[in-house]
Amino acid sequence: MTSAVELVIAGNSDVVIVRQQVRNSAQQVGLSLVDQTKVVTAASELARNALMYAGGGQVRIEVVNNGVRDGLRLDFTDEGPGIPDLDLALTDGWSTGGGLGLGLSGSRRLVDEFDLESKTGEGTRVTVIKWAR
Amino acid sequence: MERVPVLKLGDLLIVSIQIDLQDQSVLMLQEDLADAIVESRARGVIIDITAVEIVDSFIGRMLSTIASISRMLDAETIVVGMRPAVAITLVELGLSLGGVRTALNLEKGVAMLKERGGADPVAVPE
Amino acid sequence: MTAHGDAGQLRMDELLRAKEETVLKRWIDLAGATVGGRADRSVLAGRLREVYQALLQFIGEGGDASDLRGLLADLSRKQAREGFTPAETAAVVFSLKEAVYGLIESEDDVTALRGYIWLARQIDDLGLFTFETFVSAREKIITDQAEQLLELSTPVVKLWDGILAVPLVGTLDSARTQVVMEKLLQGLVETGSEHAVIDITGVPAVDTQVAQHLLKAVVAARLMGAECVISGIRPQIAHTIVTLGIEFGDIVTKASLADALAYTLRKSGVQVTQRADKHVVVGLERV
Ligand SMILES: Nc1ncnc2c1ncn2[C@@H]1O[C@H](COP(=O)(O)OP(=O)(O)OP(=O)(O)O)[C@@H](O)[C@H]1O
Ligand SMILES: [Mg+2]
């Protein structure tokens, strides 16, 4: 299975579409109901961040396999302002947007693999993977 | 954009969320509810999330905000029907839904509000 | 294979076909004796007959042992399921050597002897193969049973109307704890129960992850509108939880399942009174 879906995140309704597509792909991979819920929630957080802080971005949703298990990889990219301090951004409760500051740190706890890259002035990329048990 | 209907049942307001809410709808619901509480002099609000498949930080914050606003307007809010997968995910996300009371289902939520109504102090003559 | 070997192989083929009934009968007798009275003779005879035919085919057509191995694997699995030991199962195969030896013992036939030596080596291989299949079949049975046991050992039971309990027994790993807690939360929704008791009296120890999962389940239940009590925390586990710095916060804990039940009954408005004659009477406080 090499089916990958790419979606543009440009408005509020796109966040809903991302959630729905991630749910479909998560079911396809065979994630448990709880794991589906976790990865959809993480996707919702990351899509909203791209929209709120970078004015939009895109996500690539892909089914992957590591030789032992299938998994779902989500790759969020944007060309926004970037995050100056990654450690700070990943701290529970830290927010520049008046939020709860749980989006990034919480998403990290909801998935199995989490990778955050960002360059000030160039953009941000968050890649996460949830493996089927 | 879809609007979530607010139903009136006696002195209770009932909101049953049946769709995947986008952020704008969430904010609108927050406003609609505040207006409805004042207008209907409701004593309690029940938000039924039985059909809701995910609660992220945005919706979670909305639930807390609605609870605080309605408390200020002298109404109690109860969130009912949270699915186990949603609850487990919220715990992992780190959201505690501070100040929000919860019940397993609609019936229990209504019973909780009725109980509160009954326990209200009756005016005692000096 | 040398020319002598080939000749011996041919001779053995002839002998096994000509004396089929004699050899089979002896093999069935010998095999029956090794597994004792526990095997059903006619069933065993039927299985050995099949194996014998496959053996003839293997020798006659030279070299393709797949049918034969398939039959032996099947035999091993059946023996494993019926509770025989691996040694007994391999002995069934090895006893064919003795049965065939009876054929050549009486004759002064060097070619047949060579054929016998060749056959004996084949039987040794097959015996080992049987042994291996037996062991892996047994392993499969054990893992299957362990899984069933896991299911059985973690039931969500109804203690009272509106009160569920999960009596946890044995070592808890992170995966098992997660599965059980999901089952508990699902049970709360399905039965509309507002109280649950997680009893860990039968749990010898917990690690950080397991303690965290228990804790998260209690918090998740609370988010859903239900309250959990944890009972039966052993001193060592209390010690672990405290030294690991895990915050149990305002989670209610009780010494025993009985205490937890009494507590949750009280919480759900059921009054328990003890009469003078020591019979416990339970009455509903509210309608
Ligand atoms: N894609 C992004 N581009 C630029 N900055 C970002 C991006 N994503 C996150 N950030 C920064 O990291 C901070 C933390 O993000 P996080 O999602 O954890 O919290 P939040 O969005 O502020 O609140 P919450 O998600 O809990 O509602 C944000 O306030 C923002 O400053
Ligand atoms: Mg965020």
Nearest ligand to the CA of A119 is 1
- Nearest chain B Cα distance for residue C148, angstroms: 24
- Nearest chain B Cα distance for residue C168, angstroms: 20
Which of C182, C192, C224 comes nearest B82 by C-beta? C224
Question: What residues of chain B lie within 8 A of the CB of A110, using their CB?
Answer: 89, 92-93
Could you read off the pLDDT tens digit of each residue along chain C, which spans 287 residues? Answer: 445 558 888 888 888 899 899 999 999 998 888 777 666 788 888 889 999 998 988 888 766 778 888 888 888 888 888 888 888 888 888 999 998 888 888 777 888 888 899 889 989 988 888 888 888 888 888 877 776 666 666 789 999 999 999 999 888 888 888 888 999 999 999 999 999 999 999 988 888 888 889 999 999 999 999 999 999 998 888 888 888 777 777 889 999 999 999 999 999 888 877 766 665 556 555 44
Choose among A69, A81, A83: nearest CA to A116. Answer: A83
Which of C148, C175, C202 is the last residue before a domain boundary? Answer: C148
pLDDT interval class at B117 (50, 70, 90): low
Asked whether residue C101 falls in the same domain as residue C178, the answer is: no
Asked whether residue C276 falls in the same domain as residue C205, the answer is: yes
- Nearest chain A Cα distance for residue B1, angstroms: 8
Q: How many domains does the structure of chain C reveal?
A: 2
Question: Tokens 């019926």 sit at which residue?
Answer: C82
Domain CATH code at residue A113:
3.30.565.10
- Summarised one tens digit per residue, pLDDT across range B2-60 is 888 899 988 999 999 998 989 999 999 999 999 999 999 999 999 999 999 999 999 99
Q: Report which protein residue has its CA nearest ligand 1's atom 9.
A: A49
Asked whether residue C74 falls in the same domain as residue C206, the answer is: no
Q: Between C38 and A51, whose confidence is greater?
A: A51
Question: Tokens 């609370």 sit at which residue?
Answer: C222
A99 lines ligand 1 (CB under 6 A): yes
The Cα–Cα gap between C126 and A31 comes to 43
Q: Report which protein residue has its CA nearest ligand 1's atom 22.
A: A95
Which of C95, C116, C148 is the last residue before a domain boundary? Answer: C148
The Cα–Cα gap between B122 and B10 comes to 20
The Cα–Cα gap between A98 and C182 comes to 33
DSSP string computed for A67-124: SS-EEEEEEEEE-SS--S-HHHHTSTT--SSSS-S-HHHHHHHHSSEEEEEEETTTEE
Phi, psi of C163 (to 5 degrees): -130, 120
- Considering the domain B6-107 in this protein, what is its CATH number? 3.30.750.24
- Spacing, Cα A46 to ligand 2 middle (Å): 7
Sort C12 into a burial class: Cβ within 10 Å, 0-12 / 13-18 / 19+. buried
> What pLDDT, on a 0 to 100 scale, did the predictor assign at position C282?
60
> What pLDDT, on a 0 to 100 scale, did the predictor assign at position C1?
47
Which residues have CB atoms below 5 A from the ion given as ligand 2? A 49, 103
Whether A120 has a pLDDT exceeding 80, the answer reads yes
A77 lines ligand 1 (CB under 6 A): no
For residues A15-33, b (16+ Cβ closer than 10 Å) or e, as one string? bbbbbebbbebbeebebeb
Ligand 1 atom with the smallest distance to the CA of A98 is 22
As for the ipTM of the complex, it is 0.93
Choose among A126, A130, A112, A127: nearest CA to A49. Answer: A126
Question: Tokens 């307001």 sit at which residue?
Answer: B13
Asked whether residue C111 falls in the same domain as residue C187, the answer is: no
Choose among A102, C210, A108, C246: nearest CA to B96. Answer: A102
Which of A41, A92, A100 comes nearest B54 by C-beta? A41
Q: Which amino acid is present at B82?
A: M
Contact C251, C226 (CB under 8 A): no
Residue B86 tokens read as 């949603």
The residue segments making up the domain with residue A28 are 4-131
A42 lines ligand 1 (CB under 6 A): no
Q: How many domains does the structure of chain A reveal?
A: 1
Asked whether residue C192 falls in the same domain as residue C128, the answer is: no
Which of A34, A48, A102 comes nearest B93 by C-beta? A102
Question: What residues of chain B lie within 8 A of the CB of A12, using their CB?
Answer: 22-24
* A70-78 and A57-65 strand pairing: antiparallel
Per-domain boundaries in chain B:
6-107
Choose among A129, A121, A128: nearest CA to A104. Answer: A128
> What pLDDT, on a 0 to 100 scale, did the predictor assign at position C243?
83
Instruction: Check if B108 contacts C (Cβ < 8 Å).
Output: yes
> What pLDDT, on a 0 to 100 scale, did the predictor assign at position C277?
65
Asked whether residue C41 falls in the same domain as residue C143, the answer is: yes
DSSP-assigned letter for residue B54: -
Asked whether residue C171 falls in the same domain as residue C144, the answer is: no
Asked whether residue C17 falls in the same domain as residue C97, the answer is: yes
- Spacing, Cα C16 to ligand 2 middle (Å): 80
Whether B112 has a pLDDT exceeding 60, the answer reads yes
- Nearest chain A Cα distance for residue B49, angstroms: 15
pLDDT interval class at A2 (50, 70, 90): low
The Cα–Cα gap between C111 and C97 comes to 17
> What pLDDT, on a 0 to 100 scale, did the predictor assign at position C71?
87
B57 lines ligand 1 (CB under 6 A): yes
Whether residue B57 and residue A12 make contact (CB cut-off 8 A), yes or no, is: no
Which of C115, C131, C148 is the last residue before a domain boundary? Answer: C148
Domain CATH code at residue C49:
1.10.490.130
Residue in C closest to B84 by C-alpha: C185
Q: How many CB atoms lie within 10 A of CB C45?
A: 18
> What pLDDT, on a 0 to 100 scale, did the predictor assign at position A24?
97
Domain CATH code at residue C196:
3.30.750.24
The Cα–Cα gap between C199 and C180 comes to 12
How far does CA C276 lie from the centroid of its chain?
50
Whether residue A92 and residue B94 make contact (CB cut-off 8 A), yes or no, is: yes
Q: Between A40 and B121, whose confidence is greater?
A: A40
A55 lines ligand 1 (CB under 6 A): no
Nearest ligand to the CA of A51 is 1
Nearest ligand to the CA of A102 is 1
The Cα–Cα gap between C218 and C160 comes to 19
Ligand 1 atom with the smallest distance to the CA of A49 is 8
pLDDT interval class at B98 (50, 70, 90): confident
> What pLDDT, on a 0 to 100 scale, did the predictor assign at position C287?
41
Which of B90, B105, B107 comes nearest C223 by C-beta? B90
The residue segments making up the domain with residue C12 are 3-148
Ligand 1 atom with the smallest distance to the CA of A45 is 25
Which H helix or E strand runs over A117?
strand A113-119
Whether B120 has a pLDDT exceeding 60, the answer reads no
